[in-house]
Amino acid sequence: MTKSIPADPIMLSGMTDCLAIAVENAVLEWGDTPDSFFEKFIASGLADDFSEQAPFATTGCTGEELVAMINERIIGSPQNVRLGSAEMDYSEYYWIGYALALLVAETGASIRQIIAAIPPPEWLRLYPTHHEYGDELLLEKLSGYINVLRPDITN
């Protein structure tokens, strides 16, 4: 099932910013790898909430807060928010979160499905050739990639 990007650009912007900052923050401030971040994100149940575009998990918190909530659910005790440094902006980790959130919004596929089709190491491999694409071309390339690997997601 394919759905279009939400008509509300504020919602889409909030989703992409939140997940982009979350992935970057998890890797650079918490010491996670992209693999471990997405394992925790999925295990915490918050990836499902994000995929369903639940406001508290997409636009109701910052990326840094999302990482703290994920870790709180996994560890079982409250976690302090770890703010990023000024230098951590638009890294390959940021791009992974941005592109993934855009794909969730466009295809209606869940984070769980997308990560099964394109695992984090593959996202890192795609970064050098895909990070300069505009949203439309990026969606076209990533949707095509997912259709080849997992046609059940978007058909």
Q: What is the pLDDT of residue 66?
A: 95
What is each CA distance from 105 to 3, 87, 98, 133, 145, in whole angstroms?
8, 28, 11, 17, 16
Whether 90 is covered by a domain: the verdict is: yes
Q: pLDDT-derived band of residue 3, with 50, 70 and 90 as boundaries?
A: very low
Whether 4 is covered by a domain: the verdict is: no
Report the predicted TM-score, pTM, of the whole model to 2 decimal places: 0.86
Over residues 133-143, the mean pLDDT reads 89
Whether 21 is covered by a domain: the verdict is: yes
Whether 91 is covered by a domain: the verdict is: yes
Q: What is the pLDDT of residue 73?
A: 95
Q: Convert the pLDDT of each residue in 51-71 to its tens digit.
A: 988 888 877 899 999 999 999
Q: Convert the pLDDT of each residue in 91-106 to its tens digit.
A: 899 999 999 999 888 8
Range of the domain at 97: 9-154
**Cβ atoms of residues 98 and 59 within 8 Å:** no
CA atoms within 13 A on the CB side of 44: 25
Whether 18 is covered by a domain: the verdict is: yes
CA 119 centroid distance within chain:
12
**Cβ atoms of residues 94 and 85 within 8 Å:** no
Residue environment code for 10-24, b if the CB has 16+ CB neighbours within 10 A, otherwise e = ebbebbbbbbbbbbb
Q: How many domains does the chain have?
A: 1
